[in-house]
Amino acid sequence: MRWIAAFCAATLACASAHADKPPARPRPVIENTYVSVPHDIGSYVLRGSTNYADKGDPRAGIGMKWTDRNDPALNADLFVYPIGESATDDDMVREFRDGIDQVRRAGLYRHVSWGESEARTLMHGDGRPWRGRVLSMTATLKNGHAVISRTYLFHQGLYAYKLRADLPIERAADLPADANAMAGELLGAIRVVSVGSCGQRLEVRIIKDSDPAPATSVADTAAGDPVSADGFAVTIRQSQLESGPKSALQSPAVAKLLEQAAARQVAHGCTALPYEPPADMTTLTIHYPADFWRAGSDNPKG
């Protein structure tokens, strides 16, 4: 419940107690992003991970290596990295192909051949459809081994999700079904939550009991719902406060609203409230310099 205290202090008590102080510096769009996955997902096992932010390159995000315990030849590399909320599928396809071309020119790949780019729909963990693209590719590696791969390119919020699954070329017929199953399980299980301003202003309204509930807010609050769909607008009635804004900490009704707001923010992938990643999952934390999102959520390191 400590985060509720912090939230109330920042949005309610401090609003009146420190009104004479100059405004604080704007909060960064994202301070930290937590990428969490189960260590095992069905037959798929996490074999290793790299946090590029820890190596001084937050723009590269994180990478994970997965294998199928029932089929050790099936391997996948999964990357999550900032790309900006206006990125398109075509942008991701172009970026991926450019990256492979650089690898080819460096002599690490030979005989690269591309298949067609296909539309693909996966499911989020909560059952919502998630649309992206799949690219097929064959190549000969530097060690002489020929492989076939399928790369899944998806985008949500500020992040790109790239999963590339490989099999030896002689098993080309197996790859579509095997890779589709693997991508569906891994991408559906990953949880990415950012903490910062999220490019939004957290809005808390205190209204009289006799006032009608606002039909809309900055986040299109549904009529009668005191918490907006994205959790960034909360309406509190005076009767829900014990004796005024400074007593909000003692109000179970306010605490419940703030818990609901926090849950909705997390579900949308970005929260202005304190967040602790799930203890039973493997989590990599991408920490951003204060100026990384200075151009806004549309352009990392703009």
Token pair, residue 279, equals: 């203890």
Domain limits, CATH 3.40.1000, in the chain? 42-189
With beta carbons less than 8 A apart as the criterion, state whether 239 and 209 touch: yes
If you average pLDDT over residues 291-297, what whole number do you get? Answer: 75
Separation CA 89–CA 119 (nearest Å)? 9
Token pair, residue 186, equals: 């891994």
Give the Å distances, CA to CA, from 109 to 79, 142, 169.
20, 6, 14
pLDDT at residue 24 in the model = 60
pLDDT at residue 9 in the model = 46
pLDDT band per the 50, 70, 90 thresholds, residue 17: very low
Token pair, residue 2, equals: 């400590």
pLDDT at residue 60 in the model = 95
Separation CA 186–CA 31 (nearest Å)? 25
Separation CA 284–CA 62 (nearest Å)? 7
Other C-beta atoms closer than 10 Å to the C-beta of 240 total 18
Task: Report the first-to-last Cα separation within the chain, whole angstroms.
Answer: 36
CATH class of the domain defined by 42-189: alpha beta
In one-letter notation, the amino acid at residue 301 is K
Distance, C-alpha 29 to centroid of its chain: 13
Q: Identify any residues that bridge with 50 across adjacent strands, giving them in sequence order.
A: 63
In terms of pLDDT, which residue wins out, 265 or 54? 54
Separation CA 219–CA 237 (nearest Å)? 19
pTM of the model: 0.81
pLDDT band per the 50, 70, 90 thresholds, residue 155: very high
Separation CA 157–CA 190 (nearest Å)? 14
pLDDT band per the 50, 70, 90 thresholds, residue 162: very high
Please write the tens of the pLDDT for every residue from 191-219.
Answer: 999 998 887 777 888 888 888 776 544 44
Helix (H, G, I), strand (E, B) or coil at 86: coil
DSSP state, 223?
T
User: Considering only CA atoms, which of 172, 176, 244 is closest in space to residue 206?
Assistant: 244
With beta carbons less than 8 A apart as the criterion, state whether 41 and 186 touch: yes
Question: How is 126-163 classified by DSSP, letter by letter?
Answer: TS-EEEEEEEEEEEEETTS-EEEEEEEEEEETTEEEEE
pLDDT at residue 46 in the model = 96
Asked if the model's pLDDT at residue 163 lies above 90, the reply is yes
